[in-house]
A and B are shown apart, each in its own frame.
Chain A
Amino acid sequence: RKEVEQDPGPFNVPEGATVAFNCTYSNSASQSFFWYRQDCRKEPKLLMSVYSSGNEDGRFTAQLNRASQYISLLIRDSKLSDSATYLCVVKPSGGSYIPTFGRGTSLIVHP
């Protein structure tokens, strides 16, 4: 099983739709979790951290399920500008600081 797995997509959705991505991780001792957004030919940028109790930032909601070892990202009311690749990032515990990036999930929002 890969350390961090994501469905590569693409997810092709109309404007205004709600879309959700999941990301599974294999190391049960993982400490911190993040969602990054990467636009074509650009660097990844932090979208949001994922907290144990779940957290929301505007149209974006992130959740963590430690029992099943996955995190999710929900995007409501999709905009054309949400089209990008969404990367799941897992930071280990135990003093290691090297993150593991998922391959990313491609989202295409069309008019």
Chain B
Amino acid sequence: ETGVTQTPRHLVMGMTNKKSLKCEQHLGHNAMYWYKQSAKKPLELMFVYSLEERVENNSVPSRFSPECPNSSHLFLHLHTLQPEDSALYLCASSQADTANYGYTFGSGTRLTVV
């Protein structure tokens, strides 16, 4: 596998469920990101893991919790979500300390909360 792989591609979950999104990158990058993209809205940064530090958007509710066990894997744990959390969740990776180096996205997980 190459690039950034996200699973599952689609997820439907109830508001009381607990689920996890998975992201894996095979590019040797040292930074990984979670983004949320709601319909007709811009990308919203949720969390960043890079160079062993974590940065988070303070507006992200605690029902989303990230986990980054190593530089190649990133998880987003979901619990007691709300219908407004339905969106496309995108994982990305990059080489944090290199100028002119872009970001590679996974195909995303399309989440529907019912």
Contact = CB atoms under 8 A, between A and B. Distances in A.
Interface stretch (B11-19, B40-48, B67-75): B40-48
Interface in A78-96: 87, 89, 91, 93, 95
A98 B99 contact: no
A44 B106 CA distance: 9
A44 B110 CA distance: 14
B55 A98 contact: yes
Contacts of A104: 42
Interface in B36-72: 42-43, 45, 48, 50, 55
B87 to A, nearest CB: 12
Interface of A: 31-32, 34, 36, 41-46, 49, 51, 87, 89, 91, 93, 95, 97-99, 101-104
Interface of B: 31, 42-43, 45, 48, 50, 55, 88, 90, 94, 96-97, 99-108, 110
27 contacts: A32-B101, A34-B103, A36-B102, A41-B88, A42-B108, A43-B90, A43-B105, A43-B106, A43-B107, A44-B43, A44-B90, A44-B105, A46-B102, A89-B102, A89-B103, A91-B99, A93-B99, A97-B31, A97-B48, A97-B50, A97-B96, A97-B97, A98-B55, A99-B103, A101-B42, A102-B42, A104-B42
